[in-house]
Amino acid sequence: MPRMIRRAELRRIVPLADRTIYELERSGHFPRRFTHTPRCVVWDLSEVEAWILECREAFNEGLVKAAPSPDVHQRRSRPVRRPRPTKS
């Protein structure tokens, strides 16, 4: 019998915001939730785990690139201080 997980457990497994998960579901890129009772939606844990493995494999094969690091010198709050010149 498949194990079903509720939203709280899904949040611990998948580090994405609820809105992101819902958008991925709608576009077909994340396992769809289903109604367990009239007031409870759940996800199939095996489908979620398979999705995680697919994401990892896509990254390992180079199909998905990691996001570039932000340029901290362009931020407006907490500006980066320039290093002090060293005395020789």
Determine the Cα–Cα distance for residues 80 and 83; give it in Å rounded to an integer: 9
Tens-place pLDDT, residues 35-87: 999 999 999 999 999 999 999 999 888 888 878 888 887 877 877 777 777 77
pTM for this prediction = 0.71
Instruction: State the pLDDT at residue 73.
Output: 78
Q: Domain coordinates of the chain in residue numbers? A: 4-65
Contacts of 7 (CB under 8 A, 6+ apart): 18, 41
Tens-place pLDDT, residues 15-26: 999 999 999 999
